[in-house]
Amino acid sequence: MTIDRYQRHMKELRGVKSKVSDQNLQQFKDNANELEKKLQSLEISKRKLLGDGLETCSIDELQELEKQLDKSLSNIRARKEKLLLKENSRLKEKLQISSPIPLACCESSEEDEENSMEEVETELFIGPPESRNTRCLPHN
> What average pLDDT does the chain have?
78
The pLDDT value recorded for residue 140 is 47
Task: Tell me how far apart the alpha carbons of residues 32 and 73 are, in angstroms, rounded to a whole number.
Answer: 33
Tell me how far apart the alpha carbons of residues 5 and 78 are, in angstroms, rounded to a whole number.
Answer: 71
> Are the beta carbons of 132 and 125 closer than 8 angstroms?
yes
Would you say residue 74 has pLDDT above 50? yes
Percent of the chain with pLDDT over 90: 34
Instruction: Domain ranges for the chain, please list them.
Output: 2-101
Higher pLDDT, 67 or 140: 67
pLDDT average, residue stretch 94-103: 72
- How much is the average pLDDT of 12-33? 80
How far is 1 from 17, CA to CA, in rounded Å?
24
Give the pLDDT of residue 122: 56
pLDDT at residue 124 in the model: 55
For the chain, what percent of residues have pLDDT higher than 70?
A: 66
Per-residue pLDDT reduced to its tens digit, 38-56: 999 999 889 988 888 888 8
Rg (CA), the chain: 39
Predicted model pTM: 0.45
Asked if residue 73 lies in contact with residue 80, where contact means CB atoms within 8 angstroms, the answer is: no
Question: Which pLDDT score, from 0 to 100, does residue 40 have?
Answer: 95
